Amino acid sequence: MRLVLVGPPGAGKGTQAQFLASHFSIPHISTGDIFRANLKSGTALGLKAKTFMDAGELVPDSVTNEMVADRLTHADAEAGFLLDGFPRNVAQAQVLREILAQKSTPLTAVLELAVDTKEIVLRLSGRRTCRNCGKVWHIEFEKPSTENLCDACSGDLYQREDDKGEVISHRLQVYAEQTEPIIAFYKSEGLLITISATGSVSEITARAISALSN
């Protein structure tokens, strides 16, 4: 299974990606997570990405495409993968198509998680992330038992710079202008499957598995 997950920020891509990757036994490749890991360990790539990420802008394609092309050469991606957060514009989608065409391993499907904008703002503004293990919490919908501490590993929770007020609206605008066009692109390629991403996490996972198994 070679899968792309697409949807606005806050659609729950990261959460669903973990369950789907485990269900289909494929690696979860999140470009946002790779950038954050590089940022945390202070690499040149992390430094390059930081200004764009903090502002809710896309990291330039030259940097992102090379990073993804390299990640797809790792042995664990040979039997399939789940891309989360890539591609984020039509140019990236075209590069991905070329990379995969060279290996004669085209995408199996593109799963769109659909959710309305009001709900997204609620989800993102209350989102808190564990600095240690990366687990995602929510100040209302998924509270940890002790405020600002991760139940899974006792790490500190923080609010991502790009989950703050103004940046959220900017990310949504970037999504509408740059990322949404990939939905039409994949529809025309006959790869698009759209499901509603509202309801409980397990309901959405079940919906996704059923849609992908058809």
Residues known to be catalytic: 13, 88, 127, 160, 171
CA distance 146 to 148: 6
Residue 21 within binding range of ligand AMP, rule CB under 6 A? no
CA distance 180 to 21: 23
Q: Whose Cβ is closer to ligand AMP: residue 87's or residue 144's?
A: 87
With contacts defined by CB under 6 A, name the span among 85-93, 106-114, 146-154, 193-201 that binds ligand AMP.
85-93
Residue 72 within binding range of ligand AMP, rule CB under 6 A? no
CA distance 181 to 98: 18
Mask: binding to ligand AMP, 137-176, rule CB under 6 A, as x and -? Answer: -------------------------x--------x-----
CA distance 186 to 109: 9
- Return the residue nearest ligand AMP (CB atom): 32
CB 87, min distance to ligand AMP, A: 6
With contacts defined by CB under 6 A, name the span among 71-79, 86-94, 145-153, 192-200 that binds ligand AMP.
86-94
**What are the percentages of helix, strand and coil residues in the chain, rounded to 5?**
50, 15, 35
How many residues bind ligand AMP (CB under 6 A)? The answer is: 18
CA distance 28 to 40: 19
Residue 8 within binding range of ligand AMP, rule CB under 6 A? no
Residue 64 within binding range of ligand AMP, rule CB under 6 A? yes
Residue 31 within binding range of ligand AMP, rule CB under 6 A? yes
Q: Whose Cβ is closer to ligand AMP: residue 9's or residue 144's?
A: 9
Structure token digits, residue 197: 């991403």
What torsion do the CA atoms of 107, 65, 37, 180 make, to the nearest 10 degrees?
-60
Yes or no: say if 57 and 162 are a contact pair by the CB < 8 Å rule.
no
CA distance 60 to 117: 25
Contact residues for ligand AMP (CB under 6 A)?
9, 31-32, 35, 52-53, 56-59, 64, 85-88, 92, 162, 171
